Structures are given as structure tokens and as C-alpha cells.
Amino acid sequence: IVGIHHKSAVITLVERLSKAIIALKPEGRKAVDIENSINEWLQSVPKNLFKSITFDCGKEFSNWKSISNTNDIDIYFADPGTPSQRGLNEHSNGLLRKDGLPKEMDFNQVNQGFISSVASKRNHIPRKSLNYQTPLEVFLSYVNGKFCLA
């Protein structure tokens, strides 16, 4: 999500099965800033929890090989000009904009805590498509099932 005057950004990742939204605030909009934010976040979650990420074709994702190699994760790209290939992410971005990250906002003026709170608000709303469970509930049940100690 790009802020006012294209000077700031928020990285949004959406887990496909649970529709849980992860929102990260990079230091800037350059490829190295995006790379650092994604690497830092991926290293804070259990390894192999996420198998792939699909990016759009923006130049801010030009360091994709480093992200892939560092975290042993597959990286895919949507075809240029086809946001429909990332429909869940685009829809989630619209919900985040409605819930507190409008186009007029300068994301340099807010911290990660604020951005996380906006995503958390959305992750706590039950969805019909998830059988009226919240994205967070579905995500945690998936994680607990996948990584439970036997």
C-alpha cells in the first residue's frame, strides 16, 4: 500500500487459507527496505510456515532472490497489469484503507504498532467465507495443527 505522494509504503501479505493479514512498515520504499522488512519478519516466524509469496511487478521487489534464498521460500510474480491474480491481497488492501490506512496518509508518520493494530482489527472480524470464524482463529488452528508437538 502506497502512502500520499508515493513517499511511504506498507507491505501487506495475506495468508491464503485463513485470509489473515500481515502488515509491515518498511523504513522506506526502496528494494533494500522491502527486503529487510520481509526478511526480518520471516525470520521471526517458524521456518517453512509459509511456502511462497506472490508479489506484483513493482521495482520495490527487485531483491526477491535474496528473500527467496535467505528464507528458503518460493517467490512468484503476478503478470504485469493483472491485479486480479492477487485478488485476495488487493481486496485486503482495500479493507485496510477503509479501516485506517487511507491514501492520504503519510505512513512515515505512524509506527509499526499502529499499522499492526489496523491489521489486527481486520483479523478479528469473522468472515462468512471462513464459516464465521475470524482469520486469526483459522490461522492459529492451522499453525497449531501443523506444528503441534506429538
CATH number at residue 68: 3.30.420.10
16: containing domain: 4-147
Strands 52-55 and 11-14, bridge-based pairing: unpaired
d(CA 95, CA 91) in angstroms, rounded, equals 6
Q: What's the alpha-carbon Rg for the chain, to the nearest Å?
A: 15
Q: How does pLDDT run across 101-143, given as a tens digit for each residue?
A: 999 999 999 999 999 999 999 999 999 999 999 999 999 999 8
Domain count, the chain: 1
Report pLDDT for 144. 86
| Mean pLDDT score across all residues of the chain | 94
Q: What are the start-end ranges of the H helices in the chain?
A: 31-42, 64-71, 87-99, 112-123, 135-147
d(CA 48, CA 6) in angstroms, rounded, equals 33
Virtual torsion, Cα 78, 32, 108, 83, nearest 10 deg: 0
Percentage, residues of the chain above pLDDT 90: 88
